[in-house]
Amino acid sequence: MISKVITLEDKYIKSEFFDIINYAICRAVNEYLNRKAIDFFRRVGEYHLDEALKRGFIKIDMEDKPLDILIKIAKFLESVGYMEKIHIHKLSEDEAIVEMHGVSVTKSSVNLIREGKQPSHFMTNIMLAALKRCGIKAELEDVEFDEEKGRFKERWKILRT
């Protein structure tokens, strides 16, 4: 009897499946941690960054400009299918509009927000972790959200201390 070996290259996780996993994990985290869920997800971003750096998926130089760090992470998340497309429009050296299209966890994130719970914000938390590693803080605000098109826009501002 000959059996076929299926490698990871033969199979891909569908975004719909990932979206359900995201919802389930986030709901459980919110249930157990309540208001500390945001701190938990920030730590997840830090561990995600550590692993991505260790595995060579992302390369960050401490001398990189803050917005260039965000672009590197955005391209990584785009390349692994977390989102279809991301555009970072620099408004200045310290400010940008981040526009995400086809985010794989749109439905789960929208449902969590409607339920008054904290979503995972994978992209946001890994970006904040990378800036933190370089001693930089940032603040962001939601600018636009189109659930039907799965498009999000945020304004990021680098805080200089």
Residue type, 156: W
Q: Write down the H helix ranges in the chain.
A: 15-33, 37-54, 66-79, 106-114, 122-133
Has domain 13-159 been given CATH number 3.40.640.10?
no
The gap from C-alpha 99 to its chain's centroid, in whole angstroms, comes to 12
pLDDT tens across 42-86, in order?
Answer: 999 999 999 999 999 999 988 899 999 999 999 999 999 899 999
Q: What is the pTM of this model?
A: 0.86
